[in-house]
Structure 1
Amino acid sequence: MRTTLSIDDDVASLLEQEVRRSGESFKWTINRLLRLGLMAANQPRERKPFVVKPRSLNLPSYDCVEDILEFLEGPEHR
């Protein structure tokens, strides 16, 4: 298949470096890297579960918001 592709300058520079490094043709390098990228994109990523680590604020336990505000801001919090 023949197509026209616009490539960003930074990507073109990396491609040129890879062509020089590998000794492959530009077409072969593009196809190889596209295959690798597309195969990697289809692979499910293994992710670590997000874990919340609770920390104590060393505050007294209050049942009323007013009591908490008074503790934090003083008796003149209003």
Structure 2
Amino acid sequence: MAQKQYNVTGMTCEHCAASVKEEVGEVAGVSEVVVDLAAHSVTVHGTDLDDARLRAAIVEAGYAVADSISDSVAA
């Protein structure tokens, strides 16, 4: 299973987290979305994750992707 983590700016509340989870969760291959408001990060788990689509989903939710923190694949 693949994992991608992003540093996201502008998230300040649970509504922000819910918006991001909803948009990112609709991207093909996504099985789980974890939002950490304190760290301003979004971690996505799934298969065949498309970086461009994940970033676009975060932007669609109304937030900016500052940087990709990590990109890994678990065996």
With normalisation by structure 1, the TM-score equals: 0.25
Query: Whose strand fraction is larger, Structure 1's or Structure 2's?
Result: 2
Bigger share in helix = 1
Higher RCO, 1 vs 2 (CA within 8 Å, ≥6 residues apart)? 2
TM-score, length-scaled by structure 2:
0.25
